[in-house]
Structure 1
Amino acid sequence: MALKKTSILLVLVLLFAKTGFAQPPTGKKTAGNDQIFSLEDLQLMVFRYHPVIKQTQLLSESARTKVLQSLGYFDPELKAGFSKKLFGGTEYYNKWNSELKIPLWLAGADLKLGYDRNAGTYLNPENRTGEQGLSAIGLSIPLGQGLIIDARRNTLRQSKIMVEYAEADQLKQINAVWYGIVKDYWNWYYAHKQNELINDGLNLAQSRFKALSAQTLIGDKPGIDSVEAYITVQERIIQKEKTAIELQNARLVLSNHLWNDQGSPLELPADALPQNIDQKITRPPALLLDTLLGLATTQHPELLKLKSKGEQLAVEKSYRQELLKPKLNVIGNLISNRTGLNSNVPGYYDFNWSNYKFGIELAFPLFLRSERGKLREVKIKQQELNYDLKQFGREIRNHVIASYNDVSAYSAQLAVQSKSIENQQILVNGENQKFMLGESTLFLINSRETKLIDMKIKQESMIAGYQKALAELYYKAGTREMN
C-alpha cells in the first residue's frame, strides 16, 4: 500500500515537472530611467495640466473682476438732456443741460463740469442763461457722512480684500488636491512593491518545486515534499493574481490625475515604476516641526481666509460708523459765459469768485435704528471671527504636532522592522542549510519564507504610510512638500 502511494506521488511529480506552470510576470524588468515615474514627474504634470488646479486659478481671477466692477463707481459720468416746447408760434422754452461728473477718491468728493443753455419766453428767470449759455466747474463735498468712507470706497476696499481671500482659498484647494494625489501615488507604490514581492516569492517557490521534483525522480527526496512545494506554488499564484488586480486598480486611480497639454486624459503605462525609496528612513528633525508651526501660524490658508474676513469686517464697521453721522453736502460751482478756452468773455462774466452757485444739503435720521442695528451686527460678526481665529489656530497647531508624531512613529517602527527582516532572513538561510543536510522540513522553510515575505510587504506598507504621513504633515501646516 505504501509503495502504491509513493508511485502515485512520483507520477504527480513527473507530471508537474513536465507541464510546468504559467509563468507570471516577475516585475524584474531591466528598467531604465524612462520607466521611473517619480513624484516629481507627477508634480510637474499636475501643476501644469490638471483641470482642478486650473479651475482654482479662476477664483482669484473672479475676485479681480469684482475689483474691476467696484472701480466702475469711480468712472467719469457724462449726462446730457434736451427739451423744447413750441406752441402757437411761441417758443415756451429751449433747455440744454449737460454735466461731466468725475468721482474723486479724496473725501468722497465729485468734480463737476457743466454747460447749460436755457432760453424761451416762459422760462423761469432763475434758469435763463442767455444765448451763449453758462459753463460751470465745481465740487460736491460731503462734510458729514461720506467724508471718511462712503459706499463706493467701502465696496472697492472690500473687493480688494476679497482678492486676498480668494488667493488663500485657491491655495487651500490646491493643497487639498495635491495631498489627495500624493496619497494615491504612495498607494500605487505600495501596490507595486507588494506585487513585486509576491512575484519574487512565487519564483522562489517554483524554483524550489523544480529542484525537489528532480531530486524526487532520482530518489533523494520523498514525493510528499514535491506535493507540498507545489501547494506553496499554488498559494502564491493566488496571492499574485490578487495583488496584480490591486496594482491595476491603484494604477487606474493614479491615472485620474494625469492630463496632457491639450486637456486630454492620460493613462499611466503598465511598465511605469514608482521611484525607489531609501528604506533607512530617519526621524524628521525637530527643526522641521518648529518651521512648519511657524509657517502654519502666519501662512495657513484657513487662517489667511479668516484674517481677510476680519479686514473686510473692519472696513464694513468703519462704513457703518460713518452712516451714524448726519449728511452734510456742500456744493459749489464757479460759473461763466465762457464756452471755450479761446472765448472772449468780459471779466465780470468769466470764472471768478463773484460768479458762483452754492448750496448745502442736510439730512439726519432721528433714531438711526437701522444704522445702529447694522453696526451692532458687524461687531457681533467680529467677535465670532475672533473666536474662530483662536479655535482654528489651536486646532491647526495640534494637527501639525499630531502629524509630526505620526511621522516620527513610522520612522521608529521602520527601524525596528528593518532589523526584524534581517533576523528573519538569517532564519530562512539557516533553515535552508538545515534542509540541505536533512535536518529540517519543507514546511518550516515555507513558513519562515512566507513570514519573511509578509514582513517585507509590511515594511513597504510602512514606507508608504510614512510618506503619506509626511504629506499630511505639510498639508496640516497649510503648505505642501515640494519635490
Structure 2
Amino acid sequence: MIKFWRLLLLCISLFVSAAMAQEANRPNTNPVFTLVDLEELLMAHHPVVKQTSLLSETARAQVFQALGKFDPALYTSFNNKHFGNTDYYNHWSSELKVPLWLAGADLKVGYDRNVGAYTNPQTRTDRAGLSAVGISIPLGQGLFIDGRRNTLWQAEAMLEYAEAQKIKQINSIWFEAVSDYWDWYYAYQQYMLIAEGVRLAETRFRAISEQTILGDKPPIDSIEAAITVQERQMELAKYEIELKNTRLILSNHLWSPEQQPVELPESAMPDSMANSKLAPDATLLLDLLSQAETLHPEILQLESKELQLSIEERYRREMLKPKLNLSGTLISSRRNFNESLPPHYDFNWGNYKLGVDFAFPIFLRAERGKLREVRIKQNELRYDQVILGRNIKNDVTLKYNDLTAYSQQIRLQIENIANQQILLQGELQKFDLGETTLFIINSRESKLIDMQIKRESLIMSYQKTLAELYYKAGTRL
C-alpha cells in the first residue's frame, strides 16, 4: 500500500514539475506598454485619425469654391452676317466683370463694336468701336447680403463644424482604444494572479509530497494539493486565452507609419496601478461641466449650425426687399491709353450710359415661405441645444458618481484583501502546527486570489469610467 502511494505521488510530481518548468520559462521582465505609448501611436498613425483631417480639408475646399463666385470673369461674343455683297452686321462685344465685396457691386470694363448696314441704331458704333468702364450696384435687394456672400459665409461657418466633427471622431476612437487597453490590463492581471496562485500551489504540493514520503503528512493531503494545482492550471489556461484575445483587440488600434497593422508583442505588459491615485479630484466635476458648456464638439456643431441659420435668415430677409439695381457706364472711343482723342469723344461725365432695373413681387409668398422655414429650423435648433446641454450635464454627473463609487469600492477592497492576507497567514501557521487542514488553506488562498482579481476588476472599471467621463464631457483623458 505504501508503495502504491509513493508511485502515485511520483507520477503526480512529474506532471506538476513539467507544468512548473513550462511556467518558469516565461520571461519575468517585460516591456511596459503605457497609455501614453498608446496615445502616441494612435494619434500619429491610426487611419481614422488621419482621415479626420480630411474633414477640415473638405470644409476649406468648400470655402475656396465659394470664393470662386468673386472671381473676375471675361466674356466675349462675335456675330457677323454678309450676304449679297452686303455687310448686314458685324457685332463684337467684350467685357471684364469684377465682382466686388462691398455692397454686392460689380465693376465692368468692356469694348463694343457694332457696325453694318442693318445694325440697331441704339447700339451702332463707328468702326473704331467704344470702350466702357462702369459699375452696377444693387440699392435694394442684395445691398447688405446676396447669394454669393451668403454662400461664402455659410462655407466659413462649416469650417468650425468640420473642426468639431474632427474632435468628436478623435475622441470616439480614443475612448474605444482606452477601453480596450483596460480590458487588456484586467486580462493580464487576472493571468498574473492565477499564475502566482499556480506557483504557490505547486510549491505547497512539493513540500507536502516530501512530508508525505517521510510519513509526516497523510497521502490524501498530497492528492488534494495536486488537485488544487491542476484546477489552477486549468484556470490559467483559460485566462491565457482571454489575455491573447484582449491583446489582439488592442492591436486593432496600432498602426505603423506605413499604414500597416501592428500587433502588440506578447512580452508587453500594461502599466502598473500600484502607486496610482484612484480617487477623482474634488474640482473635476465642475471643471468638466464648465469645459463641456463651451468646448463640447456636439455643442460646437450646433453653434455652427446656428450661425449658418442666422446667415440664411439674414439672406432670406434681404430677399423681401424690392430689386433696385443702378448701373452707370462711362464710354469713349479710346482703344488704348496713348491715343489722343477730342475731349467730347473721350471719357467724361457727358459720355455715359445709365440704367435702373426694378422688380418687386406683389405677394412675396415664395420669399416669406422660405424665411418662415428658416425660422422654424432655428426654433428646432434651440430645442436641440437645450436638450443636448441637459443630456451632457447629466451624463457627466452620472459618470462622476460612478467614478466616486468605484473609488470607494477599491479602497474597501484593498482593506478586505489585507484582512484576508492576515487570515491566510494565520491559517498557514496553524497548518504548520497541525491545527487545520489543507482544504481550509486552499479555500483561504483561493478567496484571496478572487478578491485580488475583484480589485483589478474595480480598477479596470474605474479607469474605463474615468475615460468615459472625459468622453462625455467632449474631451480626452
Give TM class, smaller chain.
over 0.9
- Could you tell me how far 1:27 is from its partner in structure 2? 9.2
Q: Which residue of 2 aligns with 1:329?
A: 325
- Secondary structure of the residue aligned to 2:122 is helix
From 203, 219, 223, the equivalent of 1:223 is: 219
For residues 24-423 of structure 1, the aligned pairs below 5 Å read 24-25=22-23, 29-31=27-29, 35-278=31-274, 281-423=277-419
Structure-2 separation of matches of 1:464 and 1:398? 23
State the Cα deviation string for residues 391-415 of structure 1 (Å, max 9, x = none). 1101101111111111111111111
- Secondary structure of the residue aligned to 1:22 is helix
Structure-2 separation of matches of 1:318 and 1:15? 90
Segments of 5+ residues of structure 2 without an aligned counterpart are none
Structure-1 separation of matches of 2:139 and 2:14? 105
Structure-2 separation of matches of 1:408 and 1:278? 19
- Could you tell me how far 1:28 is from its partner in structure 2? 6.8
- Secondary structure of the residue aligned to 1:345 is coil
Write the letter of the residue equivalent to 1:466.
Y
Write the letter of the residue equivalent to 1:338.
R
For residues 2-13 of structure 1, the aligned pairs below 5 Å read 4=1, 8-13=4-9
- Could you tell me how far 1:285 is from its partner in structure 2? 1.7
- The Cα RMSD (Å) is 1.3
Could you state the TM-score of these two structures normalised by the residue count of structure 2? Answer: 0.97
- Secondary structure of the residue aligned to 1:333 is strand
From 422, 425, 429, the equivalent of 2:421 is: 425
Does the 8 A contact of 1:115 with 1:136 survive in 2? Answer: yes
State the Cα deviation string for residues 13-62 of structure 1 (Å, max 9, x = none). 12222453423436973426xx1111101100000100011111111111
Structure-2 separation of matches of 1:72 and 1:197? 66
- Secondary structure of the residue aligned to 1:286 is coil
- Could you tell me how far 1:122 is from its partner in structure 2? 1.3
Between stretches 122-131 and 437-446, larger displacement belongs to 122-131
Q: Sequence identity, in percent?
A: 57
Write the letter of the residue equivalent to 1:467.
Q
Between stretches 83-92 and 275-284, larger displacement belongs to 275-284
Q: Which residue of 1 aligns with 2:19?
A: 22
Does the 8 A contact of 1:136 with 1:336 survive in 2? Answer: yes
- Could you tell me how far 1:352 is from its partner in structure 2? 1.0
Structure-1 separation of matches of 2:447 and 2:275? 19
- Secondary structure of the residue aligned to 1:338 is coil
- Could you tell me how far 1:195 is from its partner in structure 2? 0.3
Does the 8 A contact of 1:258 with 1:266 survive in 2? Answer: yes
Write the letter of the residue equivalent to 2:165.
D
Write the letter of the residue equivalent to 2:27.
K
Does the 8 A contact of 1:26 with 1:196 survive in 2? Answer: no
Write the letter of the residue equivalent to 1:203.
R
Q: Residue 183 and residue 360 in structure 1: after superposition, are their counterparts in 2 closer, same or farther (change >3 A)?
A: same
Structure-2 separation of matches of 1:97 and 1:174? 55
Does the 8 A contact of 1:27 with 1:199 survive in 2? Answer: no
Write the letter of the residue equivalent to 1:332.
G
Structure-1 separation of matches of 2:25 and 2:159? 50
- Secondary structure of the residue aligned to 2:350 is coil
Could you state the TM-score of these two structures normalised by the residue count of structure 1? Answer: 0.96
Structure-1 separation of matches of 2:24 and 2:390? 50
- Secondary structure of the residue aligned to 1:478 is coil
- Secondary structure of the residue aligned to 2:357 is strand
Q: Which residue of 2 aligns with 1:441?
A: 437
- Could you tell me how far 1:10 is from its partner in structure 2? 3.5
Segments of 5+ residues of structure 1 without an aligned counterpart are none
